[in-house]
Amino acid sequence: MTLDLAVIGGTGLYQFPGLEDVERRTLDTPYGAPSGAVVLGRFRGRRLAFLARHGEDHTLAPHRVNYRANLWALHRLGARRVLGVNAVGGIRADMKPRALAVPDQIIDYTHGRISSYSDMEGVKVEHIDFSEPYGAALRADVLAAARRAGVAVVDGGCYGATQGPRLETRAEIARLRRDGCDLVGMTGMPEAALARELGIDYACLALVANWAAGCGDQAEISLEEIFANLAAATAEVPKIIAALLGD
């Protein structure tokens, strides 16, 4: 059966509910080990692959994720569409906790991460066009699926990708706001760029876990609130996926 979609789960999404006929595939890649086994199964009659970005026990910090191995493994298994689910902080007023968004731009503030498949001895250097970092076709499909599923989703926005694993300072968020960022997260890059190098139609479904530092009306960021907000937002993801796969 053709692989219809691959989902990379972020913080709070370590297993995909509702998968049937599950098979776990552990792949060796030219870039080392992925974050864990790729879980293959059927969801509403369609073939789906799922990979927990941080590992199923959340043991990998954002800067320690082997993004190259993850994308290569999914591509090797036949994924041509990949939806990255990312926990983020909200900067713009409508990116409030528990909101879901499908960003259309990204600014990369990370450092020291291996960000290209060209970063190997003897490999031809590829200069990808990254003007539009997310695939237009999959973005449109995700937005349409959310509408069909009755899930409110913000269309567009700029994702600021920071190094982590610490949360940002107020001054850093103020800078991101001046730069035009609407969301802040730690895993958006280099995942999006690597997907583009492999020719994968890639989109991000961002789940707002908290207001970023200095935004909203909260004085302090509570981890308990973050996980409660993530749980509420994550519960909407299978509805969107079901509609995306034609339920």
Domains of the chain: 3-244 (3.40.50.1580)
Rounded Cα distance between 212 and 199, Å, is 32
212 is in an annotated binding site: yes
210 is in an annotated binding site: yes
Average pLDDT over residues 137-158: 98
Element (H, E) at 209: strand 201-211
Q: Is the pLDDT of residue 63 over 60?
A: yes
pLDDT at residue 22 in the model: 93
The C-alpha angle with vertex 81 and arms to 75 and 84, in degrees rounded to 5, equals 95
Q: Is the pLDDT of residue 220 over 80?
A: no
Instruction: Give percent above pLDDT 70 in the chain.
Output: 98
229 is in an annotated binding site: no
Unique residue bearing structure tokens 């996926």? 241
pLDDT bucket at 123, cuts 50 / 70 / 90: confident
5-14, 171-180, 215-224: range with highest mean pLDDT: 171-180
Structure tokens at 206: 């961002």
Q: Is the pLDDT of residue 144 over 60?
A: yes
Q: Are 153 and 102 in contact (CB under 8 A)?
A: yes
54 is in an annotated binding site: yes
187 is in an annotated binding site: yes
Q: What is the pLDDT of residues 65-117, one digit of tens each?
A: 999 999 999 999 999 999 999 999 999 999 999 999 999 999 999 999 999 99
pLDDT at residue 172 in the model: 98
Rounded to a whole number of angstroms, the CA Rg of the chain reads 17
234 is in an annotated binding site: no
Q: Is the pLDDT of residue 1 over 70?
A: no
Structure tokens at 227: 């996980």
44 is in an annotated binding site: no
Residue 158 neighbours by CB distance under 10 Å: 19
53 is in an annotated binding site: yes
